[in-house]
Amino acid sequence: MAVLRVGHRAGRDPRLTTHLALTARAFGAERMFLHPPDPELAERVRSVAERWGGGFEVVGADAWKPVVRDFPGPVVHLTMYGRPLRAVLPRLRLAGRLLVVVGGAKVPPDLYRVATYNVAIGTQPHSEVAALAVTLAELRGIPGRGRWPGARQRIVPSARGKRVVPARRTGGRP
- Interface positions with its own copies (CB under 8 A): 12-13, 15-16, 19-20, 22-23, 25-27, 48, 52, 79-86, 109, 112-113, 117-118, 120-127, 129-134, 137-138, 142-145, 148, 154-155, 157-164
State in angstroms the smallest separation of the CB of 130 from its own copies.
Answer: 4
Work out how close the CB of 19 gets to its own copies at its nearest, in angstroms, rounded to a whole number. Answer: 4
Shortest distance (Å) from residue 101 CB to its own copies: 14
CB of 163 to its own copies, least distance (A): 7
C-alpha 158 chain-centroid distance: 26
Between 109 and 171, whose beta carbon lies closer to its own copies?
Answer: 109
Q: Which is nearer to its own copies, 4 or 136 (CB)?
A: 136
Q: Are 102 and 6 in contact (CB under 8 A)?
A: yes
**What string of DSSP letters covers 73-123?**
S-EEEEEEEEEEHHHHHHHHHH-SS-EEEEE-SS--THHHHHSSEEEESSS
Which of 37, 33, 31, 32 shows the shortest CA–CA distance to 10? 37
Residue 152: φ, ψ to 5°: -90, -25
**Cβ nearer to its own copies, comparing 13 with 35:** 13
